[in-house]
């Protein structure tokens, strides 16, 4: 018999879903509009991907673009990864260390390859152009 998990929604309702279900599955069950609009999920207060399965009973809030603070946090997180990819594409061998989204934006600590000088302000236009690709 498949284990059923209890997922509590913001409206107070509880959905029972098979273990292994995802927030995306619940969004689709609620309706196609929500499934399309959902960007991420807040599971027990933690912002996470829609495809990460539930591993226990949980509370769920689906995040859409209308949830400005969460949507901004997601965007900043994604932009930080795009920044890291751009730097590595432009200068192979660059070491990417730490790069969180912050309340004010995003950044990555990077170490330039030994074959070049440390990064400086003059490198920003090339990085920005690569990020836009």
pLDDT one-digit tens code per residue, 88-99: 999 999 999 887
Residue 1 is predicted with a pLDDT of 63
User: Residues spanned by CATH 3.10.20.30 within the chain?
Assistant: 4-66
For residue 9, with 0-12 CB atoms within 10 Å meaning exposed, 13-18 middle and 19 or more buried, which class applies?
middle
What is the distance between the alpha carbons of residues 25 and 22, in angstroms, rounded to a whole number? Answer: 5
- pTM across the whole model: 0.69
What is the distance between the alpha carbons of residues 75 and 69, in angstroms, rounded to a whole number? Answer: 10
User: Residues spanned by CATH 3.30.980.10 within the chain?
Assistant: 69-132
Q: pLDDT tens digit string along 68-113? A: 888 888 888 889 999 999 999 999 999 998 878 888 888 889 898 8
What CATH number should be reported for the domain whose range is 69-132?
3.30.980.10
What is the distance between the alpha carbons of residues 106 and 76, in angstroms, rounded to a whole number? Answer: 6
Residue 121 is predicted with a pLDDT of 94
Q: pLDDT tens digit string along 30-61? A: 999 999 999 999 999 999 999 999 999 999 99
Percent of the chain with pLDDT over 90: 69
What CATH number should be reported for the domain whose range is 4-66?
3.10.20.30
């Amino acid at each position: 018999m498949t284990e059923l998990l209890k997922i509590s929604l913001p409206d107070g309702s509880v959905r029972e879903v098979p273990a292994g279900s995802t927030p995306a599955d619940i969004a689709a069950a609620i309706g196609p509009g929500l499934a399309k609009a959902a960007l991420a999920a807040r599971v027990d207060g933690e912002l996470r991907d829609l495809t990460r399965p539930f591993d226990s009973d949980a509370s769920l809030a689906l995040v859409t673009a209308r949830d400005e603070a969460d949507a901004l946090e997601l965007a900043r997180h994604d932009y930080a990864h795009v920044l890291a990819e751009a730097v590595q594409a432009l200068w192979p061998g660059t070491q990417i260390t730490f790069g969180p989204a912050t309340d004010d934006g995003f950044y990555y600590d990077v170490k330039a390859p030994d074959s070049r000088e440390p990064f400086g302000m003059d490198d920003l236009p090339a990085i920005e152009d690569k990020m836009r690709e």
